Amino acid sequence: MGKKDIHFEILPFCENPEDNTMTEAVRARRVPRIDIRYSRPSIYFGYAGLTKTDFPIQTLAELGAGVYLGSQINRQVTPRIPSYLKIGQIMIPIKSRMVYLSQGVAGVEFLEPSRETRAAIQSHFHLEFAAAMLQPAFESRDYNSPIQRLIFKGKTNNYGFEFTSKSGRICSLNATLDHLGMASWIEGRPLTMSTNLSTQSEVETVRAQLASFIKNISGINPRYQAQIMEIINMNPIDFDYDTRT
């Protein structure tokens, strides 16, 4: 049997805030939408019974997602079949509809997602949502000095991020990651984590979580963000304490 194309109807929706027909997914644009391409575990979207393909999700909110469907797209009809989210090995049935399509990426609205579905999304991607809520809280910059310091804070002290740059180059950073502890780096030294890890796989998981956290902080100059991602991915990790024997 040949591979089936997926056929969709692109349903219109109104973004006028005075229009009572505006869907919940459109309202959800006002709350954080996270980039999860760096996240672990990965999350996928699929249509039960239509194809065996699990389509990767690129951006995610509690009420919708940006799904990469590639070339398996035809804009004619909407399949009247159940859909699902797949987080790691967990399969979560959902109702959904497509609300936009652009360059192979579909905007999918979750229709009346259950409390359990929302809880699962928040539980697996709490770091990314927390990062998306951070706001610039302090900037120290003397225009007679090449040193600049930026601090991003949330509503609580459980999450935060700050970095210092000199002449456009990152020279130190600190991140607070709730139960994962703290991460810090000073130029010329290893990346230090104050967390309790016992295996190399756990180390790399935390490194990936830190990268995903940074990727979802808005307001960081892309030039600085690229430097920070390189620092996280390329530097060895040292620990303040651990349980290794």
Task: Write the pLDDT tens digit of every residue in 181-209.
Answer: 889 999 999 998 887 666 667 778 888 88
DSSP string, the chain: -PPPPPB---------TT-TT--HHHHGGGS--EE-TT-SS-EEEEETTT-SPPEEEEEEETTEEEEE-TT--BSS----S-EEEEETTEEEEE-EEEEEEETTEEEEEESS--HHHHHHHHHHTHHHHHHHH-EEEEEEE-TTSSEEEEEEE-SSTTEEEEEEEETTEEEEEEEEEGGG-EEEEETTS-EEE-S---SHHHHHHHHHHHHHHHHT-TTS-HHHHHHHHHHHHHS-EEESS----
pLDDT tops 80 at residue 6: no
Cis peptide before 56 (omega within 30 of 0): no
Task: Write the pLDDT tens digit of every residue in 84-129.
Answer: 999 888 889 998 888 888 888 888 888 888 988 888 888 888 889 9
Q: What is the pLDDT of residue 164?
A: 93
Give me the domains of the chain, ranges plus CATH numbers: 24-124 (2.40.10.220), 128-239 (no CATH)
Note if the pTM is more than 0.75: no
